[in-house]
A and B are shown apart, each in its own frame.
Chain A
Amino acid sequence: MALLQISEPGAAPDPHQRRIAVGIDLGTTHSLVAAVRNGVAECLPDMQGRVILPSAVRYLSEGGRHIGHDALAEAAIDPRNTIVSVKRLMGRGLGDIAHREKLPYDFIDAPGMVQVQTVDGVKSPVEVSAEILAALRHRAEDAFADDLFGAVITVPAYFDEAQRQATKDAAQLAGLNALRLINEPTAAAIAYGLEHGSEGLYAVYDLGGGTFDISLLRLSQGVFEVIATGGDSALGGDDFDRLLADWALSQSDLEATTPRDKRSVLVAARAAKEKLSAADHATLACPLSGGELWVRVSRNEFEAMSRELVARTLAAVRKVLRDAKANKTEVHGVVMVGGSTRMPMVQKAVGDFFSQTPLTNLNPDEVVALGAAIQANALAGNAGADELLLLDVIPLSLCLETMGGLVERIIPRNSTIPTARAQEFTTFKDGQTAMAIHVVQGERELVSDCRSLARFELRGIPPMVAGAARIRVSFQVDADGLLSVKAREETSGVEAAIDVKPSYGLADDDIARMLRESFITAESDMKARSLRESRVEAERMLLATRAALMADGDLLSQDQRDAIEALLAGIEAVREGEDHHVIDAAVEALAKGTEAFAAERMNRSIHQALAGRRVEEV
């Protein structure tokens, strides 16, 4: 029980208030959950003591499912219903998926995101990911014998808005409060930097099962500043497996035709690849419907066939250095993350490129989850928030469509978040009363080459001659990297706004439907959970506001103070009630009613901090 936990020095004063927050690495091939316990981040094991959960879900005909090791073991015998590497499908349409003919699934081309037909019905990648997240959530709840306050979930730095939104949707479906999505290389840097007290410019080279990321960060006294990030959201260990599998088939006269064959040969290729990290030779062997596949492969042969994949990662590294206007000689250290960096050829290529030995002393499988756990602990308001500050960037430019299908960049890639930018546009026809706004993401010049995120219309523009209207479109990106867009005609004040839920994301209704249909979280559980969360939030707001009044009450007039006291009393009156909507409304009223006070306090704290710093500088 949380009651028995001992409060650490500098931790929340009341042990009841310590909130359990975890970091989750939702990976292509495997996933992990980690948490800070007694001041140390550690991965949480399952009942058998294993920390790694294979990212595999097998759907059974009676509505049951196997998740993790069991599912993976069954992938070859039931390939159609066993979804592995689902991360490569997240936020993607059918046409986006490379080499889909080599995958053993029955894909369904659904609007927005591809889906998979299984024996238990049609599954969206979001649902499959939610199964994995829910398994990890249960693992963590068992470990702490308590509910989770929330989770920080990692995503590849190069994930676009659609892929990020899909990940957030999966968290919601799994009943997790996603405190933040953070980028995998950034998480790795946190774990690495905090452990080693590193300072300076670091490159994080993250080659996972299905994605490749490269980030350049500056570490300085607990501040983790991402300077530039890049990569390829469809390049990873799976691609090495596929190359090796194709090669092995070409060496024999066999073909992989059935779903089971396709899976078997990939599983065998992966085993051979892993063996080649330590041995000079390996044998790729598996039964296929046309006969027994048995091919011997040397490390040299494997490296020759994969040279081009490694070269692709280095091209992305060069691009990031160019974006950062940094020279590779300025890089103090190169942190290797992701299981695929175990391949000697990858370590050698990266080492040669940077002329230094890459850092491999943290377990490349665990480092991302550990970093996420540290950030989760800080975001939950537990100890450590003061020592850590993460300044991340958006990986891809956010743009608007302009005349002729061209792209106007509003927020360039690698802008530090949170950020906001505005740009003015005008009408091109006399008497034009509406303007269509199409938000896209990408680096290309043509809208058709970028990813469409959202469309909305600004209506009710007063009729004017062409070019007279002044339409200001503002983009705002929050600390999660999620975008909202507002358009306003300045002469008339007409406005329209949208929170960008990419066309590939799920609508809230879809989520609600899936929650109802899914047995991940039963409805009564949901209600009880909402109520509990609302009460905790009310308690937290009461404490925070009282503390603020104590510290900075002198900023308020008597009237202002009375108004806030009345709102506090309003929460007191309802917080033990059974309706979470009522509690939420009272909390929101307090939040609104204290906004001006919060702004004043912020001004004061900045003044004090800067004054203090000036004294230090003297």
Chain B
Amino acid sequence: MKLDSDDFELFDVPRRFEQDRAVLDARWRALQGEVHPDKFAAEGAAVQRVAMQWAVRVNEAYQRLKDPLKRAAYLCALNGSPVDTEKNTAMPASFLMQQMEWREALDEADSIEEVEAIADDVAARQKAAFAELRHSFDERRDTAAAAEQVRALMFVERFAQDIDRRLEALGQ
């Protein structure tokens, strides 16, 4: 276990998409319990600096592992199929249509109920997409296909954030 171990090694969990959130949470707390700078409050500056690096690294890994989309993008990169959102923007036409419909619906929605209905639709879609993603990674072991699904999910996530902002603006 080193600072440059990958996230899965660091957390001692199998390198795959499917993860148990409770295990990740427990590992994170246990790791921070070992490395957090406050645990070395009585020691010198050198130890503090090292502890800080470790604590930052553990938090970074935890942020990535617990978020399914970040975890998926990370797995793609580890397996040699980086998601490359800047270079790779091609999306199937059907997906783009769906996006446009959602955006139009959100523009036209003017009540909390209407926005929430879109949010529910998006959430259901995300859930299904993550199930497919799990299948691509853990069963078919097809990271190239997974990378494409991750790119699509990133669009969906951005849209979900716009929905949250709208809900906030509507005072929910």
Distance, CA A391 to CA B56, complexed state (A) = 12
Interface centre among B30, B31, B36, B50 (most CB of A within 10 A): B50
B168 to chain A: closest residue by CB: A319
A604 to chain B: closest residue by CB: B1
Distance, CA A476 to CA B56, complexed state (A) = 9
CB-contacts of A30-76 with B (<8 A): none
Question: Of A223, A380, A597, which one neighbours B41 at CB under 8 angstroms?
Answer: A380
B99 at interface (Cβ–Cβ under 8 A)? no
A507 at interface (Cβ–Cβ under 8 A)? no
Does the CB pair A606–B35 fall under 8 Å?
Answer: yes
B46 at interface (Cβ–Cβ under 8 A)? yes
B172 at interface (Cβ–Cβ under 8 A)? yes
Contact mask for chain B residues 56-89; partner A; CB cutoff 8 A; 1 contact, 0 none:
1001101100000000000000000000000000
Please name 4 further chain A to chain B contacts, defined as beta carbons within 8 Å, in addition to the given A598-B46, A614-B12, sorted by A numbering. A322-B168, A322-B172, A418-B59, A602-B54
Residue numbers of A with Cβ under 8 A of B are 179, 220, 223, 225, 315, 318-319, 322, 378-381, 385-386, 389-391, 415-420, 476, 478-479, 540-541, 544-545, 548, 587-588, 590-595, 597-599, 601-603, 605-607, 609-610, 613-614
Does the CB pair B44–A389 fall under 8 Å?
Answer: no
Does the CB pair A592–B171 fall under 8 Å?
Answer: no
Does the CB pair B51–A594 fall under 8 Å?
Answer: no
Does the CB pair A389–B50 fall under 8 Å?
Answer: no
B45 at interface (Cβ–Cβ under 8 A)? yes
Given contacts A322-B164, A419-B56, A599-B50, contact A385 B44 (CB under 8 A): no
B38 at interface (Cβ–Cβ under 8 A)? yes
Does the CB pair B32–A607 fall under 8 Å?
Answer: no
B2 contacts which chain A residues (CB < 8 A)?
A: 603
Question: Of A223, A594, A602, A607, which one neighbours B29 at CB under 8 angstroms?
Answer: A223
Within the complex, what minimum Cβ distance (angstroms) separates B49 from chain A?
Answer: 7
Distance, CA A378 to CA B38, complexed state (A) = 8
B140 at interface (Cβ–Cβ under 8 A)? no
Does the CB pair B43–A544 fall under 8 Å?
Answer: yes
B52 at interface (Cβ–Cβ under 8 A)? yes
Does the CB pair B59–A416 fall under 8 Å?
Answer: yes
B171 contacts which chain A residues (CB < 8 A)?
A: 315
Does the CB pair B1–A541 fall under 8 Å?
Answer: no
A607 contacts which chain B residues (CB < 8 A)?
A: 1
Interface SS, A side? helix
B45 contacts which chain A residues (CB < 8 A)?
A: 588, 591
Distance, CA A602 to CA B3, complexed state (A) = 10
CB-contacts of B5-54 with A (<8 A): 12, 29-39, 41-47, 49-52, 54
Distance, CA A597 to CA B44, complexed state (A) = 12
A592 to chain B: closest residue by CB: B46
B146 at interface (Cβ–Cβ under 8 A)? no
B156 at interface (Cβ–Cβ under 8 A)? no
Does the CB pair B63–A415 fall under 8 Å?
Answer: yes
B106 at interface (Cβ–Cβ under 8 A)? no
Does the CB pair A602–B38 fall under 8 Å?
Answer: no
Distance, CA A609 to CA B12, complexed state (A) = 12
B63 contacts which chain A residues (CB < 8 A)?
A: 415-416
B55 at interface (Cβ–Cβ under 8 A)? yes
Question: Of A389, A544, A601, which one neighbours B42 at CB under 8 angstroms?
Answer: A544
Task: Show 7 A/B contacts (Cβ-Cβ < 8 Å), sorted by A.
Answer: A315-B171, A416-B63, A418-B56, A587-B44, A593-B46, A597-B46, A598-B44
B54 to chain A: closest residue by CB: A602
Distance, CA A475 to CA B172, complexed state (A) = 32
Question: Of B1, B35, B44, B60, which one neighbours A591 at CB under 8 angstroms?
Answer: B44
A220 to chain B: closest residue by CB: B29
Question: Of B1, B52, B56, B62, which one neighbours A606 at CB under 8 angstroms?
Answer: B1
A412 to chain B: closest residue by CB: B63
Does the CB pair B33–A595 fall under 8 Å?
Answer: no
7 smallest CB-CB distances across A and B, nearest first, come from A381-B42, A591-B45, A595-B46, A598-B47, A591-B46, A598-B46, A379-B41
Does the CB pair A385–B36 fall under 8 Å?
Answer: no
A419 contacts which chain B residues (CB < 8 A)?
A: 56, 59-60
Within the complex, what minimum Cβ distance (angstroms) separates B150 from chain A?
Answer: 19
Does the CB pair A378–B41 fall under 8 Å?
Answer: yes
B43 contacts which chain A residues (CB < 8 A)?
A: 544, 548, 598
Within the complex, what minimum Cβ distance (angstroms) separates A140 from chain B?
Answer: 19
Given contacts A315-B171, A613-B30, contact A420 B60 (CB under 8 A): yes
B172 to chain A: closest residue by CB: A318
A417 to chain B: closest residue by CB: B59
B39 contacts which chain A residues (CB < 8 A)?
A: 385-386, 389
A544 contacts which chain B residues (CB < 8 A)?
A: 42-44, 47
B60 contacts which chain A residues (CB < 8 A)?
A: 419-420
Distance, CA A588 to CA B39, complexed state (A) = 20
Distance, CA A602 to CA B50, complexed state (A) = 8
A592 contacts which chain B residues (CB < 8 A)?
A: 46
Distance, CA A515 to CA B37, complexed state (A) = 30
Distance, CA A220 to CA B27, complexed state (A) = 13
A418 contacts which chain B residues (CB < 8 A)?
A: 37, 52, 55-56, 59
Question: Of A385, A416, A478, A545, which one neighbours B52 at CB under 8 angstroms?
Answer: A478
CB-contacts of B77-110 with A (<8 A): none
Within the complex, what minimum Cβ distance (angstroms) separates A259 from chain B?
Answer: 38
A385 to chain B: closest residue by CB: B41
B36 contacts which chain A residues (CB < 8 A)?
A: 389, 391, 479
Distance, CA A385 to CA B34, complexed state (A) = 12
Question: Of B32, B44, B55, which one neighbours A594 at CB under 8 angstroms?
Answer: B44
B47 contacts which chain A residues (CB < 8 A)?
A: 544, 594, 598, 601-602
Distance, CA A548 to CA B44, complexed state (A) = 11
Does the CB pair A610–B1 fall under 8 Å?
Answer: yes
Given contacts A416-B59, A418-B56, A420-B56, contact A545 B38 (CB under 8 A): no
Distance, CA A420 to CA B55, complexed state (A) = 10
B30 contacts which chain A residues (CB < 8 A)?
A: 609-610, 613
Distance, CA A179 to CA B38, complexed state (A) = 10
Does the CB pair B46–A385 fall under 8 Å?
Answer: no
Within the complex, what minimum Cβ distance (angstroms) separates A426 from chain B?
Answer: 11
B52 contacts which chain A residues (CB < 8 A)?
A: 418, 478-479
Does the CB pair A609–B56 fall under 8 Å?
Answer: no
Within the complex, what minimum Cβ distance (angstroms) separates B32 from chain A?
Answer: 6
Does the CB pair A602–B35 fall under 8 Å?
Answer: yes
B51 contacts which chain A residues (CB < 8 A)?
A: 602
Question: Of B38, B42, B44, which one neighbours A390 at CB under 8 angstroms?
Answer: B38
B59 contacts which chain A residues (CB < 8 A)?
A: 415-419
Question: Of B1, B41, B44, B50, which one neighbours A545 at CB under 8 angstroms?
Answer: B44
B33 contacts which chain A residues (CB < 8 A)?
A: 223, 389, 609
A380 contacts which chain B residues (CB < 8 A)?
A: 41-42
B56 contacts which chain A residues (CB < 8 A)?
A: 418-420, 476
Within the complex, what minimum Cβ distance (angstroms) separates B91 from chain A?
Answer: 24
Distance, CA A476 to CA B49, complexed state (A) = 12
Interface centre among B29, B39, B47 (most CB of A within 10 A): B47
A379 contacts which chain B residues (CB < 8 A)?
A: 38, 41
A415 contacts which chain B residues (CB < 8 A)?
A: 59, 63
B49 to chain A: closest residue by CB: A595
